[in-house]
């Protein structure tokens, strides 16, 4: 009897760690922090987090969101990934003071569970016209209706307030956390991620029918890596324009002075970084062509001096190209007018200084050959020879007077037979070379 009891105790002792270990593995949650705009880099960051949660079979993914919005293409990519996710996806607008505006509100409507922290807000999803300019009523109606239908269908499929969701687009409505909860736009209000996991525990998601088991879950916080942050930093229209201009300056300087290496190296690196930004963000073909034309004008000025005409043309086309370069990305991704003008003015100024020096050098008398000796000082030696820079030259006086050995003279001109014509000078005798 005692043997059976002892054996039972051993089996229980062995079973407890296994059960506990299994429970820990089933209740791990990934908390993905996103305090940024929605762009291709942040889209990749969020999608990778969902992929990891599926691979590791985690209990849920919580996107801790604070965003002003972003690109529609990246937003739709995130929405599609959330809808296809095999693990529950929770969008949590947090911490207090945060917001899920524009594209962020649409992403929240695509989540299995939409939650907010106190003192947060959601909404203002009305599409902004490209370049911030007025568009025709017909085109605006098409864009708004498309966005309203998109967010409304997401809300309907997740059993949320369709009318309130559509108003975030059609009327740019914005709701605080308590109001959003009261009208059925979000499911939960919680002050922290652990509190959120306890409150959503046992909920069944719509339409996937996934049952959440998140009470007391182990939370693993995820932040953007250094490389992702660096790439996100480069996705800045003003920085892209600056990198392109530095690249242009470096290449032009290298073309003017082959062999310097440093300007060409810096220019090439800057140009590659700028082109990376152009690859990430959608660009206008017209703006890109104007930027290329501007670069052509600046480079041509280095080889075909036009007294600054091509430099001015390059500066003007650079400003125009920079202002419309990122029109397809929307108003949030536009090059600032002061930045564009400042870069163009700097380019024109640098080229102007360089051209001034080139003209000044071109106007100087030749510093090589015998013509470079005009104005040089020397000393009369014997037999009508004059010593200049350690060399003896045949010479005659300007007034045809005889040359006196030891007399200091100055070269006034050079005859065709390389005879120097010298005049008297009070300059001290030049130092004899060793």
Q: Which residue among 142, 225, 336, 427 is the active-site one?
A: 142
Residue 66 to residue 62: CA distance in whole angstroms: 13
Active site residue 142: yes
For tokens 């010298």, what's the residue? 422
Question: What does residue 380 show for φ and ψ, rounded to 5 degrees?
Answer: -70, 130
Q: Report residue 290 as tokens.
A: 């104007």
CA distance 194 to 62: 11
Q: What is the spatial distance between Cα 372 and Cα 420, in angstroms, rounded to a whole number?
A: 12
Measure the CA–CA gap between 100 and 195, rounded to whole angstroms. Answer: 20
- Distances 350 to 106, 190, 355 between C-alpha atoms, Å: 47, 57, 9
As a whole number of angstroms, the distance between CA 201 and CA 213 comes to 5
Q: Which of 74, 85, 102, 124 is catalytic?
A: 102
DSSP for 287-356, written as a single string: HHHHHHHHHHHHHHHHHS--TTHHHHHHHHHHHHHHHHTTGGG-GGG---HHHHHHHHHHHHHHHHHHHH
Q: How far is CA 290 from the centre of its chain?
A: 20
Q: Is 227 exposed, middle or buried (0-12, 13-18, 19+ CB in 10 A)?
A: exposed
Count of H-run helices and E-run strands, the chain:
14, 14
In this structure, are residues 310 and 300 in contact, taking their beta carbons and an 8 Å threshold? yes
Interacting residues of 393 by C-beta distance below 8 A, sequence separation 6+ = 378, 385, 386, 387, 418, 419, 420
Does 208 participate in catalysis according to the annotation? no
Q: Annotated active-site positions, please?
A: 102, 142
């Amino acid at each position: 009897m005692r043997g059976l009891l002892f054996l039972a105790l051993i089996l229980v002792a062995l079973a407890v760690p296994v059960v506990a270990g299994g429970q820990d593995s089933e209740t791990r949650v990934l908390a993905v922090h996103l305090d940024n705009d929605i762009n291709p880099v942040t889209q990749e960051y969020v999608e990778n987090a969902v992929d990891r949660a599926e691979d590791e079979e985690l209990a849920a993914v919580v996107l801790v969101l604070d965003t002003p919005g972003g690109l529609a293409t990246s937003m739709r990519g995130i929405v599609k990934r959330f809808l296809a996710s095999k693990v529950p996806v929770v969008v949590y607008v947090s911490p207090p003071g945060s917001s899920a505006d524009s594209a962020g509100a649409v992403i929240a409507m695509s989540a299995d569970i939409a939650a907010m922290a106190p003192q947060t807000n959601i909404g203002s999803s009305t599409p902004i016209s490209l370049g911030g300019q007025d568009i025709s009523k017909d085109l605006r109606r098409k864009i708004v209706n498309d966005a309203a239908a998109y967010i409304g269908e997401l809300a309907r499929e997740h059993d949320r307030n369709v009318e309130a969701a559509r108003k975030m687009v059609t009327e740019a409505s914005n709701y605080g956390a308590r109001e959003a909860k009261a009208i059925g736009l979000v499911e939960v209000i919680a002050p922290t991620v652990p509190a959120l996991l306890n409150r959503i525990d046992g909920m069944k998601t719509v339409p996937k029918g996934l049952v959440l088991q998140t009470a007391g879950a182990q939370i693993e916080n995820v932040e953007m890596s250094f490389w992702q942050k660096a790439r996100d930093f480069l996705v800045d229209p003003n920085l892209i324009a600056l990198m392109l201009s530095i690249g242009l300056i470096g290449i032009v300087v290298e073309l003017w002075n082959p062999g310097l290496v440093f300007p060409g190296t810096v220019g090439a690196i800057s140009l590659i970084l700028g082109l990376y930004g152009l690859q990430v963000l959608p660009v206008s073909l017209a703006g890109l062509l104007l930027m290329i034309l501007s670069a052509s004008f600046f480079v041509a000025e280095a080889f075909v001096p036009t007294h600054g005409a091509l430099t001015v043309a390059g500066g003007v086309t650079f400003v125009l190209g920079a202002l419309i370069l990122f029109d397809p990305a929307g108003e949030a991704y536009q090059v600032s007018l002061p930045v564009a003008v400042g870069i163009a003015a700097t380019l024109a100024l640098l080229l102007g200084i360089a051209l001034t020096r080139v003209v000044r050098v071109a106007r100087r008398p030749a510093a090589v050959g015998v013509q470079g000796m005009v104005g040089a000082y020397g000393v009369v030696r014997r037999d009508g020879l004059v010593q200049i820079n350690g060399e003896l030259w045949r010479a005659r006086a300007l007034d045809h007077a005889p040359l006196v050995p030891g007399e200091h003279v100055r070269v006034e001109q050079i005859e065709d037979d390389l005879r120097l014509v010298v005049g008297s000078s009070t300059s001290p005798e030049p130092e004899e070379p060793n």
